[in-house]
């Protein structure tokens, strides 16, 4: 099987965008990516689009919108993927499989979402479609409410870890100060994140506003190429391993604190790569809520169940720690435009490995892990990435 490699990327600034829709967001990021990879639209053999939508826009058929932004791509096969908050990684896996099967040599992976034009209450209801509505549709606070329940259950089992969640909440925006693409470039500090106030109220259960990721607009694009084409490119980042593992959708039918699907995806990827988590230079992980990042520490093997708080308290995942986690600022700072998130995380990791991360750069980064999940650890994707040239 041919191994696809990343040879370029594009990334809009995340946040409340002047772009009116995903069509224009994708057009900006695609143009950047083609230029960065130094390829022409005529070189592209397939387009893989990740957009959640589900009510953010009445315009769907999102796979066809890339060519609306660049008509030179009009006759390139294009398809749309959706897998909740892991939509971008689903599109990436589709493109990797496409090149791996020899069906094309160069592919675009395009992730996008336009969220801020939708009223806040509607955003919450749209996102709840990534839960099991038969049982969870009436959860107060939407997805924040679901993760608030998860945090409450964690505290009941392992003790109140509000301060450690605040440490994660402070870490990621501090990192995001160095990210020119980030939605929120502000260092709030631990005291603010750990104090309930008018500006930082409880949102759901023990989760405060600073424990929650942002509603954002944005697009990100990866250019993938087979090994022969990548050898002629100005840069190349390969996949030492990639894995996907799912878990049951309904929270009532599993112990959600296990994050079992996430753990399985990490175990598969690390086993296939021949590495351990200690070999990684950095990780970009899915911090939709701070409790998610803490549970992901445990899922990736940094701590035993119930001990994730020790990872942040001991400084392991700080930017200057043993394993920096979310040096980009993560979803908490960079923003979380659903379809773009998984693609963006891989862009951030590739930038680090190529030494193109600017002020975000982790010195000497050689191996990067990416974890992107859909729902409450239902669709789980892990990538282990390395620089090829």
Query: Which residue, among 238, 236, 5, 221, has the nearest Cα to 105 in the 3D structure?
Result: 5
Question: What pLDDT is stored for residue 157 in this prediction?
Answer: 98
Helix (H) or strand (E) holding 227, with range, is helix 227-230
Residue with tokens 């753990």: 263
Helix axes of 87-100 and 338-353: crossing angle, nearest 10 degrees: 60
* Ramachandran angles phi, psi of 230, nearest 5°: -65, -30
pLDDT in tens, 165-181: 999 999 999 999 999 99
- Residue pair 130/375 in contact (Cβ under 8 Å)? The answer is yes
Q: In the predicted model, what is the mean pLDDT of the chain?
A: 97
Helix axes of 120-127 and 142-158: crossing angle, nearest 10 degrees: 60
Q: What is the dihedral of CA 92, 93, 94, 100, to 10 degrees?
A: 110
Q: Which domains does the chain have, with CATH numbers?
A: 5-118+215-230 (3.40.47.10)
Grouping H, G, I as helix, E, B as strand and the rest as coil, residue 221 is strand
As given in the structure block, the two tokens for residue 346 are 């891989």
**CB contact set of 126 (below 8 Å; sequence gap of 6+):** 54, 55, 56, 118
In the predicted model, residues of the chain with pLDDT beneath 50 are none
The C-alpha atoms of residue 348 and residue 283 are separated, in whole angstroms, by 10
Q: pTM above the 0.95 mark? A: yes
Question: What pLDDT is stored for residue 1 in this prediction?
Answer: 56
Helix axes of 260-273 and 290-299: crossing angle, nearest 10 degrees: 50
- Residue pair 27/223 in contact (Cβ under 8 Å)? The answer is no
Q: Across-strand partners of 309?
A: none
The C-alpha atoms of residue 98 and residue 142 are separated, in whole angstroms, by 36
* Residues 272, 274, 277, 279, CA torsion sign: negative
The C-alpha atoms of residue 45 and residue 98 are separated, in whole angstroms, by 10
- Residue pair 230/350 in contact (Cβ under 8 Å)? The answer is no
Residue 93: how many CA atoms within 13 Å on its side-chain side?
A: 20
Query: Which residue, among 191, 202, 196, 86, has the nearest Cα to 147 in the 3D structure?
Result: 202
Question: What pLDDT is stored for residue 337 in this prediction?
Answer: 98
């Amino acid at each position: 099987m041919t191994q696809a490699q990343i040879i370029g990327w594009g990334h809009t600034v995340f946040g409340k965008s002047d772009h009116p829709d995903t069509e224009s967001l994708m057009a900006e990021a695609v143009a950047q990516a083609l230029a960065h990879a130094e390829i022409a639209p005529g070189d592209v053999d397939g387009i893989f689009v990740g957009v959640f939508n589900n009510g953010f826009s009445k315009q769907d058929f999102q796979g066809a919108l890339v060519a609306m932004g660049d008509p030179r791509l009009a006759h390139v096969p294009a398809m749309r993927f959706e897998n909740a908050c892991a939509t971008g990684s689903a599109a990436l896996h589709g493109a990797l499989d496409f090149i791996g099967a020899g069906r094309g040599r160069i592919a675009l992976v395009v992730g996008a979402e336009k969220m801020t034009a939708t009223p806040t209450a509607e955003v919450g209801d749209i996102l709840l479609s990534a839960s099991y509505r038969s049982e969870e549709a009436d959860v107060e606070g939407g997805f924040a409410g679901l993760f608030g329940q998860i945090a409450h259950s964690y505290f009941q089992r392992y003790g109140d870890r509000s301060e450690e969640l605040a440490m994660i909440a402070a870490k990621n925006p501090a990192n995001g100060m160095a990210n020119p693409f980030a939605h929120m470039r502000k260092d709030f500090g631990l005291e603010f994140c750990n104090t309930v106030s008018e500006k930082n109220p409880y949102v759901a259960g023990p989760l405060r506003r600073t424990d929650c990721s942002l509603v954002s607009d944005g697009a990100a694009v990866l250019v993938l190429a087979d090994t022969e084409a990548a050898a002629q490119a100005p840069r190349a980042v390969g996949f030492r391993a990639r894995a996907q593992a799912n878990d049951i959708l309904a929270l009532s039918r599993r112990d959600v604190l296990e994050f079992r699907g996430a753990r399985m995806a990490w175990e598969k990827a690390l086993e296939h790569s021949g590495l351990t988590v200690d070999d990684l230079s950095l990780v970009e992980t899915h911090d939709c809520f701070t409790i998610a990042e803490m549970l992901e520490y445990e899922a990736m093997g940094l701590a035993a169940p119930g001990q994730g708080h020790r990872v942040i308290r001991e400084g392991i995942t700080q930017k200057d720690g043993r394993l920096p986690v979310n040096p980009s600022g993560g979803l908490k700072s960079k923003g979380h435009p659903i379809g773009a998130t998984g693609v963006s995380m891989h862009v951030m990791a590739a930038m680090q490995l190529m030494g193109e991360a600017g002020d975000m750069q982790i010195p000497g980064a050689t191996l990067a892990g990416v974890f992107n999940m859909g729902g409450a650890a239902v669709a789980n994707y892990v990538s282990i990435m390395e620089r090829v040239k």
